[in-house]
Structure 1
């Protein structure tokens, strides 16, 4: 065989091999095609949310509970121990700004001095007035005695003189009787005035003592053992030095029961439909990646609320932690994996491998050296995968991205 024939046969063979490769091989071009096998096993669907650990039972540490009585509102927190501080009963916790109470105490002291001065003045006026009345009564009694003596000695006087003396004695007796009645009335009046000014003194003095007692309560001590956790304002921010408390919410901190913990989280409108009371949960903690605890959904809100800084509505979900861990503290960030459902021994593929057209769901399935568009039926899905109920078998290979050149291929229908 000549060299020329050998060269022609070699070139022809290469052309045939090239054509066969292009016809039967899967598309490659310059684009990378990702593949995945159909897997069989347990299929789980989880809703993953971020939350915050909190205690289901805690003892509140409150400021004064009688602020409304003294018309005090928005009292500033002047000092507060650091959050997380371990305290015992009777330990110092914090202090409120006393300036507003000090003003009232100063006013009460001034009012007390004025009232005491009025009391003393009234006491002196009463003493002097009643003394004058008593002296007047004594003078009348002396006059009566003189008139009686004159009457006794007037037995030899003319009848007109005797009659005049009798009339004078009778007038003196009436005057004495009237004076005694007036004295009794004036004494009662004086007593009433003394009671009035005395009551005013007592009332102001009591208010002053109450204010001094209130001022003492502005220094707050713990009434139990535990770890200090700051209370929250209505907007979710924590109370701290400079924050205010009101008569309607005088709490500044709390002592949570660390053996009774839960995770408070929020789910969006799509995921909340999957979450029900009683679902199992796995809880992780950002501060301790090695700790994972079991939990259960105990409450799902029926009404949504707007997320701060967004128009998205979210629903509150409470998850009770099973058991306890000494490392877990209120306020720690939690990651919650809520198991919404689980299927045993099912086929599944990644969501990226599923395509649809005209209500037909299909995949690009690898078949030998070629690719076919295969119709499939799907079931439940999670965030990553979907269950295949018909159309594929275990270990079948499907493409995660659409191979070029197969858009117009017919879809192989299910029988």
Structure 2
């Protein structure tokens, strides 16, 4: 069946403009930007030489989540991701809780990425630069998806080039020592689990692909192809960069580093690369921020359509065909957080919310039938168990704050249902 003409589309429908390559690039822009520059040091602090084990564990859980999400997205190619899957497969409450976890957790991620931009571009004015970045990228998203995809493609190319330079310099400098890659020599199981939970923050970018279901061409084929491609490329990049950094700094040096990749090239004797890495880090964080604002606004759109959020946020711009009110509200909230928040606390909090989100995605995938394309049963079961284990292995402050916010969301849902019941 051909796509309906522009005249035949409903006014609140989004245009299907993105192909496989665009969807993969959007996922890469989110995952690579978030993880390489934000999660390696805290993960090394938790796991020591077990960092690579934590990375492998996070990748396994992410693969399960990606497979479950891809099968569900093919059946439900609408904006909202697991908010839609949970609602359709498990009921309104679980869909709402998934959407709540995503919006809250990823809004915190937006602030973390904006602050990362500020810390690299102008350390003395971190919050001011962060606010400026949020305003600028909200405007880009407002102008339409094609511009967002083109900008993200450019960002990913720049970041990959910078990371390649770091890896080559690290392995050819003469300072690299394979003995520093003695995997797991000083790691504990709890430390590896906590590192995996923190690194999962970096793998969560493939959610951007699923939440763009209404803007992807032929979603039944495009989404299942784009998600594992983006995840696989990211895993290779992560493993190579992590090994390069560990070989130069060692587990303790990496754990203590405030800017691991800059410290790596400096220790390798390539001071000229330091400003290049700083620019690459800022560009990477911009890529993540762009994709994050885009994904949160689409989930907000979906929840507003179902009146779980103010219905006015479901409006789609008649010219640009984007959820403009949702994007403006999301941008405004992130501006406030970017002006006041702490970047380190945002990572653990975001990880808890995202792991809760994917736990619901895997639970939803468990209900699929073979005729609906259900993956092997072990995949969603392992994904569900992995998400729960990693969520509660995070730092205690992240677990407490994350659980409190999810409880608040559940209570809000219950109160709204009770009010609606009285009215009827």
* Structures share fold, TM-score greater than 0.5: no
- Which structure has the larger Rg? 1
TM-score, normalised relative to structure 2: 0.20
Which has more helix, going by share of residues?
2
TM-score, normalised relative to structure 1: 0.21
